[in-house]
Amino acid sequence: MRRLRTYGFVAAFLAVPFVLYTVFVISPYIQAFQISLTSWNGYSSVVSYVGLDNFVRLLRDEVFWRALRNHGVMLVTLPLVTIAIALFLSFLLNLGGGPGGSGVRGLWGSRFYRVVFFFPQVLAVAVVGVLFQAIYRPDEVGVLNGVLARLGIEPVGWLIEPSLALWSVIAVMVWQGVGFYVVLFSAGMAAIPKDYFEAAALDGAGRLRLFFSITLPLLRDTVQVGWIYLGIAALDGFALIQVLVGNKGEPDGATTILPITIYNNAFSYGKVGYASAMGVALFFLTVTFAVLTLRTTRRERVEL
């Protein structure tokens, strides 16, 4: 009887969140799967079912494959660069000071630097986009090109050159995201017993040895989580690209991504069924990426 009451108490608390999650998360997914099998234009009361025709059309759509290629570049670059920079900065802030009188310590002023690094994370994506529009301006008024002009270098079209546009967007995503992962990895490093570092330092281990032999192995699970989050971010990027370069994938399709393509098909071309098919494809790409990352990085848990 007591166990039954406990289960009833827990179920009563979970009922409302479960209903809200079902209505606002599960239900839209199910509707998207259903709409992807139609040729619905978004406003007509007549819905024609076309089966898997939208998915067959995806396989022949050059814009879809171009978006996938861009996502592939972002999936490799964004997590790798962001995590590498965040790990480096976190190590400096927490352990970069080397051994001191009270053990291994971080750099002086590390608390202040954590706030500075985290600051871009609190800015709205629209604010970041407008800020970097000014930085990336293709004339000498732009911040970057103004510096280059002083060095005698011709202005660079950061967002209008097809070979540079996507890399410029990725650079902004790295800049905005690094601060969060500095805090995340710093929390992970704080959970590692200092005795490990002090013992290694007494044995003559340098900073590189401390990082690769102690810090990185014990942060593996945290890095895994960060990699998944960044991979999901690489499969999104809608708001930032929308503000920076618009929703046409300019220049020459260099910044075309699936969320932008979904938006265009649904709201500009009235092809809601086809856009839903792209959304379903993006959903399975995201789930596949997360599952593969978890499986390939799985290992025995290290007990501290």
Considering the segment(s) 36-296 as one domain, its CATH architecture is Orthogonal Bundle (1.10)
- DSSP state, 23? I
Mean of pLDDT values over 173-200: 87
59-68, 98-107, 248-257, 267-276: least confidently modelled range: 98-107
Domain limits of the chain? 1-33, 36-296
How far apart are alpha carbons 222 and 207 in whole angstroms? 20
- For 267, phi then psi, to 5°, come to -110, -20
How far apart are alpha carbons 126 and 173 in whole angstroms? 12
8 A C-beta contact, residue 260 and residue 247:
yes
- What is the tens place of the pLDDT at every residue in 29-86? 899 999 999 998 888 887 889 989 999 999 999 999 999 999 999 999 999 999 999 9
- What is the tens place of the pLDDT at every residue in 90-143? 888 887 655 554 445 666 777 788 888 888 888 999 999 999 999 999 888 889
- Residue 224 neighbours by CB distance under 10 Å: 16
What is this structure's pTM? 0.87
